[in-house]
Amino acid sequence: MVTRLQISLVAVVPIVFVLDWITKRWIEANVSFWDNHVVIPGFFSIVHAQNRGAAFSLFADSSEEIRAIVLIGVSGVVMAIVARMFWKALRSPFAHSIYGISALALVLGGAFGNMADRILRGSVTDFLLLYWRDWQWPAFNVADSAISTGAVLLLVDLWRRKETI
Q: Name the more confident of 30 and 35.
A: 30
Where are the domains positioned within the chain? Answer: 4-164
Q: Which of 20, 61, 134, 144 is catalytic?
A: 144
d(C-alpha 33, C-alpha 97), whole Å: 42
Would you place residue 61 in the very low, low, confident or very high pLDDT band (cuts 50, 70, 90)? low
SS3 of residue 157 by DSSP = helix
* Cα R_g (the chain), whole angstroms: 17
Tens of pLDDT, residues 68-77: 777 788 889 9
Tens of pLDDT, residues 50-59: 987 666 555 5
Residue 43 reports pLDDT greater than 90: yes
Residue 160 reports pLDDT greater than 60: yes
Residue 117 reports pLDDT greater than 60: yes
Kindly state the helix (H) or strand (E) to which residue 78 belongs, with its residue range.
Answer: helix 75-91
Does residue 117 carry a catalytic annotation? no
d(C-alpha 11, C-alpha 8), whole Å: 5
- Calculated CA dihedral for residues 135, 138, 144, 149, nearest 10 degrees: -10
Average pLDDT over residues 120-129: 93
Does residue 144 carry a catalytic annotation? yes
SS3 of residue 61 by DSSP = coil
Q: Which of 20, 35, 117, 126 is catalytic?
A: 126
